[in-house]
Amino acid sequence: MDELGFPELTAEQIELLCQTAEDATRKHILNQVPSKDVIRLDIAVEVEGTKPVNIAVEVDLLLSKQVKTVDVETLVKEAVNTGHIAAENFLRRIQ
């Protein structure tokens, strides 16, 4: 992620940043796979530091055995990337 020039984040902004990244990650997955086929979807977003801000998005995804056309590893990578993009866009809006 690029280093952005902005003031230190407040606790509320960090919470909104995490929620933004989590929501985007979840939305990406559920746009690709029906929720009825998702057995487990755990998303964790962690923010460290202030300048620069480091954002980690982790996804634990388990799909039903009926879903054979989806590469879970690729889907998770795409979803994590989407979460990072959403977080970066959030940070750009508040700078």
Kindly state whether residue 6 falls inside one of the protein's structural domains: no
Instruction: Check which CATH number belongs to the domain holding 44 and give it.
Output: 3.30.300.100
Domain count, the chain: 1
Reported pTM: 0.88
DSSP string, 66-89: T--S--HHHHHHHHHHHHHHHHHH
Is residue 4, in this structure, part of any structural domain at all?
Answer: no
Q: Could you tell me if residue 2 is inside a domain?
A: no
Which residue range forms the structural domain that includes residue 62?
Answer: 11-94
Evaluate whether 33 touches 67 at the Cβ level (below 8 Å): yes
What value, to the nearest 5°, has the Cα angle with vertex 73 and ends 71 and 78? 95
Q: State the pLDDT at residue 7.
A: 60
Which has more confidence, 70 or 7? 70
Is position 1 within any domain?
A: no
Residue 81 lies in a domain: yes
Residues 9-26 pLDDT 10s:
888 999 999 999 999 999
36-62 mean pLDDT: 91
51 located within any domain: yes
Q: For 83-92, what is each residue's pLDDT tens digit?
A: 999 999 999 9
Please, what is the average pLDDT of the chain?
90
